[in-house]
Structure 1
Amino acid sequence: MTPRPRAARRAAAALALLLGSLALQPGAEAATPAPAAQPPAADRDLGREVLAADDGWAAEGTGTTGGSAADDAHVFTVRTRAQLVAALDGGSSVPKIIRVAGTIDANTDDRGRRLDCDDYATDGYALDAYLAAYDPRTWGGAKPAGPQEDARKASAARQAERVELLVGSHTTLVGVGRNGVLKGASLQVKDADNVIVRNLELRDAYDCFPAWQPNTGGLGDWKTAYDTLWLRGATHVWVDHVTASDKGHPDDREPTYFGRNFLRHDGLLDITNGADLVTVSWSRFADHDKAMLIGNGDGVTTDRGKLRVTLHHNEFHSVVQRAPRVRFGQVHLYNNRYVIPGEGDYRYSLGVSTESRIVAENNSFESPGHVEVADLLKSWNGSALTQRGTVFNGFPVDLVSIYNAYNSGSETDLATDTGWTPTLHGPVDSAERAAADVARGAGAGRAG
C-alpha cells in the first residue's frame, strides 16, 4: 500500500478525534464512580495489610499477603543499609515485615560511610580512558573488549554488591509515615512469591559504570545495569503507593558521549522473566526515560500465559517511554493519569509489542500542544489493543482509530479486541474523576 501524505493522515486523525469527542467510548457510562478515599485511621498498620480480594491480577488464586503473618521477631524497623540487608536476610522466605524509617542510601559501606563512583572503581578503570579506548571513530563497531572493559566490569561488580538487594518470598517492605526513602538501590524480587512493596520512595538507582553497546546500522547506545524495582520471575506481587524517579541525578542532565546521552538509569519498574500476577496501584513514576517494561524480548516465548499485570490509579509524570511497553502480557490498565513532558524528548506512552493483550480503560492524558493523540501509542509487532473511555486534554478519544488513521500505509493497523475481559478489579471510575484522585493520592507518603 502507498503511504498517504502526512497532511491526509493528519486529517484522518483529526476526523477520528472529532468523532470521539461527540460520543463517549463504549462502556464509559457503565462504570460506577468510586467514592473518594477516606483518611486512614491513625493507628493503621500498613505492614499488616494485605491485598483486597478483587484488586487486580495479584489477587488471583492465593492472593497476596506479603509478610503480614510475620511473628514479632521478624518485624524490623530499619534506618541504615546494614540494618536493611540484615532484615532482608539474603532474600530468605521467612515471613517478615520491614519498615523503612527515614532515608537509606544503598551506596554506603557497612559503617555507613557514603560511597561514590571513585570508591567502586578498580583495576585502573577511568571514564576518560574508557571513552578513548572505545571511541567508534577509532575502535569501530565491535563490542568493547580489553583492559578498560574488563576494569569496567570489575568496578560494576563492586557497586552491584552494594546496591542490588534481594527481596524474598512472604515479605512486606513498607515506608514509615511520609519519609520512607530508599536511595540508590536496585530492589530485586527474583523467583519469589507473595511480596508487598508499599509507601516507599525509590530514588536514583544510579549506575556508575554504563557500558557502550555498538548497534549495527546505528550509533549504538549506553546500557545501564539497575532497575529501581525489578520483578524477575516473581509471582503474587503488590506494589502500592510507591514513588520511583531519578531524583538527584536526572539523565537529561548527563553529558553526551559518542553522540548518545550517557544514561545512568534503567527501568523504574520492570516485570520480566515470566513474572506473573502483579498489581501496581496508586504509585507515581516520574522524570525518567524508560519507566516500565513488561516482558523481556520478542523471542522469549516462555512468557506466554504469564506476565498478567494490573496497573490502576498510577501517575506517569514526565516519562519519555514505556508506560508500559508490553510483550506477551495480559495487562489491565485502568484509571491511570499521564502527564506528558512539556519539554525535552517524548516518544510514546503505551507500547504494544509481540502478543501483548492490553485492555486500557478510562485513562487520562494531559499533553502539551506539540504531542498528538497518535503519538501516545506505538506498536512493535503488536496486533491489538482494547481501549475505551480514554480522555486526551479533556476530550474523549479512541486511541486505536486515531493511531490507525495517522499511521495508515506505514504500519499494520491494530485490531480493537484483545480477546479477554478483566474481572479482577475494583470500580472503574471515569477518566476525569480518576485523574483528580490520582493527582491527590498517588505516590509514597499518601498510603496512611
Structure 2
Amino acid sequence: MPYSPNSRRDPRRFSRGLAASCALALGSAVLSAAAPAAAAAGCEVDYTVNEWNSGFTASVEITNLGDALDGWTLEWEFPDGQEVTGAWNAEIDQSGSAVTAESVAYNAAMSTGGTASFGFQATHSGQNGAPGGFTLNGTVCDGSAGGDDGSGDDGDDGGGGGDPQPSGSPAGWAGENGGTTGGAGGATVAVDTAQELTDAMTASGPAVIEVHGSIALSGMNDVTSDKSVIGAEGARITGGGIDVDEAHNVIIRNIAFADWDDDAINVQDGSTNVWIDHNSFTRGDDGAVDIKRESDFVTVSWNHVFDHAKSMLLGHSDDHTADRGHLRVTYHHNFFDGSGSRHPRVRFGETVHVYNNYYRDNAEYGVASTMGAGVLVENNYFENVEHPTHVGYADSAAGRLEAVGNAFENSGAPETAGSVAGVPYSYTPDPAQDVPAIVTDGAGPGNI
C-alpha cells in the first residue's frame, strides 16, 4: 500500500481506462449514453480517495494515451461492496459491484494526450479496497499507447523490462504535472560522436537520441526540452556531463557515466519533469545527479552508484531559499554501492520520497534532511551504514525526516524529526527485506 497516515489522502493510481463528466443522481433508473465512437488504444488513470468512517469521496483523472476519442465509457468493479451515492462530471450506473461511468456532451471529446476528470461520493463498510482494474471503451488499459488485450502487461513503470524509449510516465514525482515522456513522438537519432550527441540534444523539437558506443565529453552539455537520451547496449559517456537547464520533459536512461569533470547529470534553473533511470555512475569529480535551483517533478530510479564520493545533491545552497516549494523528487530502487554521501542530501524540498533503495557500505551517511526539508525514507535496506539518516548536516540547519519500514543490517539507528506531508501519487513499495536482491538484479544500464 502507498504510505498514507490516516489523516492524509490515500492516492491510488492505476494504468487503466476512464470515463467522465456530469452531475448524477443515483437511483433505480439506469443511465444511458451514446456508444463511444472508438475503442481506447491506451490510457492512464489517477484514482484518489479521501475517506472517513463509513464514507469516502473519489477523484478520477484520465490521460488518453491513444487516438482521439469522441465519447468514452469507464468500467470497474468494487472489491468490498462499496456503493456510489452521488457523482459529478460523469453519468454513473452501478449494478452490484460493477460500475459504469460515461462521458457527457461537454467532455466526450478527448484528444491524444488529453485528460478528463470526474468524482463521486460513496459508502463502505470496513474495507475500502481500490478497484483492481479499469476498462476504457472495452479495452483494458495498461498505461501504454498500445493498450492491452488482457494477456499481460506491456507497459513500463520505470522498473525491469520494456522498450528503450519508455511508454507512459514513470513512477513518482516525474509522473505528476502532466507526466514525463521525453522525446516520444519525435524522430529517433542515432549518435556515436560527441558532436552528434551535443547537436541532437540541443536541436529543436522532440527526439529520441540513441547513444552508441563510448562518447567522450568535456564540461557540461545542454539538453533541451522533449528529449530522450537513451543508451544502446554498452553505451558510455565519459569526461563530461549532461546539463538539464531550464528544460521540460527530459529522460536520460541506460548510460554508464564515468570520470566526469563536473557533474554527470545536473538538473537546474526551474527544469521540470525529468526522469533519470537505469544509469550507472562511477569515479566522477563532483555530483552524480545534482538537482537544484527550483527544479521540480523529478524521478531518479534504478541507478547504480559505485566507487564515487558525492552521489546526489538536492538543493543548491543554504542561502538559495527560492528552492522552497520546489524540489519534489522521488528516489527509488537505486543502488548506492560503497558511495560516500548524498543519497540524497536535501535542502528545502518537500515531499522528497526515498524508497526501496539499497545502501551498502556508505562511508559517511545515507540520507540527510536539512534546511526545513521534508523527506520520507521508506522501505530501504541499509547494510553496514553507520549513519543511515541525518537530520541537519555540517553547517545546514535541520530538516524533517520520517523513517518508515526500513531494514538495517549492521547499521546505526536513523535520525528522525517531525512529520512529512504525503505524496499525491500511488506506489506499492517492495518489502525492505527484498530490496537487496531486487535492486542488485535490476539497477544500472542493461536492465531495462
Closer/same/farther in 2, CA of residues 44 and 268 from structure 1, 3 Å limit: closer
Q: What SS class does the counterpart of residue 244 from structure 1 fall into?
A: strand
Determine which structure has the larger strand proportion and give its number: 2
Name the residue aligned to 1:388.
Answer: 404
Name the residue aligned to 2:303.
Answer: 283
Name the residue aligned to 2:354.
Answer: 333
Report the alpha carbon displacement of residue 49 of structure 1 after superposing the two structures with TM: 2.8
Name the residue aligned to 1:114.
Answer: none
Please list the CA deviations of residues 39-74 of structure 1 after superposition, one character each: whole Å capped at 9, or x if unmatched.
Answer: 999x9532253424xx1011112110100110xxx3
Name the residue aligned to 2:375.
Answer: 358
1:399 to 409, 414, 425: 414
Cα distance in 1 for residues equivalent to 2:223 and 2:173 = 20
The answer to whether residue 267 in structure 2 is matched with residue 231 in structure 1 is yes
Cα distance in 1 for residues equivalent to 2:417 and 2:308 = 30
Report the alpha carbon displacement of residue 433 of structure 1 after superposing the two structures with TM: 1.1
Name the residue aligned to 1:98.
Answer: 209
Report the residue type matching 1:423 in the other structure: P
The answer to whether residue 281 in structure 2 is matched with residue 163 in structure 1 is no
Name the residue aligned to 1:81.
Answer: 194
Q: What SS class does the counterpart of residue 209 from structure 2 fall into?
A: strand
Cα distance in 2 for residues equivalent to 1:394 and 1:275 = 36
Q: What SS class does the counterpart of residue 197 from structure 2 fall into?
A: helix
Cα distance in 2 for residues equivalent to 1:26 and 1:366 = 26
Report the alpha carbon displacement of residue 392 of structure 1 after superposing the two structures with TM: 1.1
Report the residue type matching 2:424 in the other structure: T
Cα distance in 1 for residues equivalent to 2:169 and 2:4 = 29
Report the alpha carbon displacement of residue 187 of structure 1 after superposing the two structures with TM: 0.6
2:169 to 51, 61, 78: 51
Closer/same/farther in 2, CA of residues 394 and 436 from structure 1, 3 Å limit: farther
Closer/same/farther in 2, CA of residues 58 and 375 from structure 1, 3 Å limit: closer
Report the residue type matching 2:414 in the other structure: L
Please list the CA deviations of residues 243-301 of structure 1 after superposition, one character each: whole Å capped at 9, or x if unmatched.
Answer: 1111xxxxxxxxxxxxxxxxx70111100111100001111112111111100111211
Report the alpha carbon displacement of residue 95 of structure 1 after superposing the two structures with TM: 0.3
Greater RCO structure (CA 8 Å; 6+ sep)? 1
The 5-angstrom pairing of residues 242-391 of structure 1 reads 242-246=279-283, 265-330=285-350, 331-341=352-362, 346-367=363-384, 372=386, 374=387, 376-379=389-392, 380-391=396-407
Cα distance in 1 for residues equivalent to 2:204 and 2:425 = 27
- Alignment check: 8 A CA contact 2:177 2:273 kept: no
TM-score (norm 2): 0.61
Cα distance in 2 for residues equivalent to 1:270 and 1:350 = 14
Report the alpha carbon displacement of residue 434 of structure 1 after superposing the two structures with TM: 2.1
Name the residue aligned to 1:155.
Answer: none
Identical aligned pairs, as a percentage?
Answer: 34
Q: What SS class does the counterpart of residue 306 from structure 1 fall into?
A: coil
Cα distance in 2 for residues equivalent to 1:378 and 1:287 = 25
Cα distance in 2 for residues equivalent to 1:297 and 1:96 = 33
The answer to whether residue 240 in structure 2 is matched with residue 240 in structure 1 is no
Report the residue type matching 2:277 in the other structure: D
Please list the CA deviations of residues 217-261 of structure 1 after superposition, one character each: whole Å capped at 9, or x if unmatched.
Answer: xxxxxxxxx111000121000111011111xxxxxxxxxxxxxxx
Q: Which segment drifts farther, 377-386 or 228-237?
A: 377-386
The 5-angstrom pairing of residues 96-175 of structure 1 reads 96-106=207-217, 162-175=218-231
Report the alpha carbon displacement of residue 378 of structure 1 after superposing the two structures with TM: 4.9
Determine which structure has the larger helix proportion and give its number: 1
Report the residue type matching 1:228 in the other structure: A
Name the residue aligned to 2:138.
Answer: none
Report the alpha carbon displacement of residue 318 of structure 1 after superposing the two structures with TM: 1.1
1:63 to 179, 183, 196: 179
Please list the CA deviations of residues 194-238 of structure 1 after superposition, one character each: whole Å capped at 9, or x if unmatched.
Answer: 0001111111103xxxxxxxxxxxxxxxxxxx1110001210001
Report the alpha carbon displacement of residue 424 of structure 1 after superposing the two structures with TM: 1.7
Closer/same/farther in 2, CA of residues 431 and 394 from structure 1, 3 Å limit: farther
Please list the CA deviations of residues 397-421 of structure 1 after superposition, one character each: whole Å capped at 9, or x if unmatched.
Answer: 8623xxxxxxxxxxxxx52412x11
Closer/same/farther in 2, CA of residues 40 and 304 from structure 1, 3 Å limit: closer
Please list the CA deviations of residues 72-114 of structure 1 after superposition, one character each: whole Å capped at 9, or x if unmatched.
Answer: xx311111112212222xx3441011001111112xxxxxxxx
Closer/same/farther in 2, CA of residues 421 and 383 from structure 1, 3 Å limit: same
Name the residue aligned to 1:212.
Answer: none
Name the residue aligned to 1:415.
Answer: 417
Give aligned pairs, total. Answer: 294
TM-score (norm 1): 0.61
Q: What SS class does the counterpart of residue 86 from structure 1 fall into?
A: helix
| RMSD over aligned Cα atoms | 2.9
Cα distance in 2 for residues equivalent to 1:353 and 1:56 = 22
Report the alpha carbon displacement of residue 164 of structure 1 after superposing the two structures with TM: 2.1
Q: What SS class does the counterpart of residue 353 from structure 2 fall into?
A: strand
Structure 2 gaps, min length 5: 6-128, 130-151
Report the residue type matching 2:199 in the other structure: A
Report the residue type matching 2:273 in the other structure: H
Structure 1 gaps, min length 5: 1-24, 107-161, 207-225, 247-263, 401-413
Q: What SS class does the counterpart of residue 400 from structure 2 fall into?
A: coil
Report the alpha carbon displacement of residue 310 of structure 1 after superposing the two structures with TM: 0.3
Closer/same/farther in 2, CA of residues 26 and 40 from structure 1, 3 Å limit: closer
